[in-house]
Amino acid sequence: MPALYKKCPKCGHERAPDETAPDDTCPACGLIFAKYLKSKFASPDDPRVQSGPTLVDETTLPARAKALLFHVPDEVNPLHVYARAALLAALVAYGGKLAAMDIPSWEMASSLIHATMVPFHEFGHILFRPFGEFLMLLGGSLFQAGLPLVLGGIFLVKNRDPFAAAVMLWWSAVAVMDTAPYIYDAQQPQHVLLTGRTGDTGAHDFIDVLGDLGLLDRAQAVGRATHAFGVVMLLASFAWAGAMVWMQHQRRSGR
């Protein structure tokens, strides 16, 4: 029996000739085509449509998001699973170490990953310069934390690689945590910046940004809240990447 759809109407997956899933089911997201057709073409007065939410739930936005965020290919290379598990372990260990670093002393500034993010931060200022002084000042931190999210979206939508997207979420979380001490420092500037001076005598992004927002006298609280948000992002990246490694392990083992 030929497949009802060569390309899934729900997630857009195009069936390959060697895929072994049933002809009436999408190999990628599990959509059952017969149910999809019933929900799409049944009369609104049909009691099966009104009383059977399972016929329509499969095409809802949450269902599509789940299929995108937790996509597992039909064939999984065991070596890829082990490599991703090892990478996840390293990210958990290093991310946990970064999250535990002291905020007031900006301990994270001495880390290797901070040094790699400085060029992205500075480029952000240049990128946002045409949009006015406020966004130009904020743009360094926006670009530093936002670039990995853009890359993660590309991995997710174009490459259908949720694990890579989870790693990009980890990178963004670290960037947010790295910004937190900079925000904290704006209330009582102590740290020497790239200009060779502290914020009292030189440029400081968040003295101006928080001053414009009327939050300069609460900069330390904002800095700690920013750090907490980064930690939440970090934990989310661990959970997402871990789920993908486990699901791919299950597919590899044929369970």
Say if residue 47 is exposed, middle or buried (CB neighbours under 10 Å; 0-12, 13-18, 19+): exposed
Q: Which residues are 25's β-sheet partners?
A: 32
Q: What is the model's pLDDT at position 156? A: 94
Q: Which residues are 7's β-sheet partners?
A: 14
154-204, pLDDT tens digit by residue? 999 999 999 999 999 999 999 999 999 999 999 998 887 776 667 666 678
- 85 in Cβ contact with 244 (< 8 Å): no
Q: In this structure, how many other beta carbons lie within 10 angstroms of the beta carbon of residue 134?
A: 13
> Angle at Cα 169 formed by Cα 164 and Cα 172, nearest 5°?
130
Query: What residue ranges do the domains of the chain occupy?
Result: 1-64, 78-253
Q: What is the model's pLDDT at position 2? A: 44
Low-confidence ranges of the chain (pLDDT < 70): 1-6, 21, 38-59, 195-197, 199-202, 253-255
Q: What is the model's pLDDT at position 175? A: 98
Q: In this structure, how many other beta carbons lie within 10 angstroms of the beta carbon of residue 194?
A: 10
Q: What is the model's pLDDT at position 62? A: 85
* pLDDT, mean over the chain: 86
**53-70 as b/e: b if 16+ CB within 10 A:** eebbebeeeebbeebbee
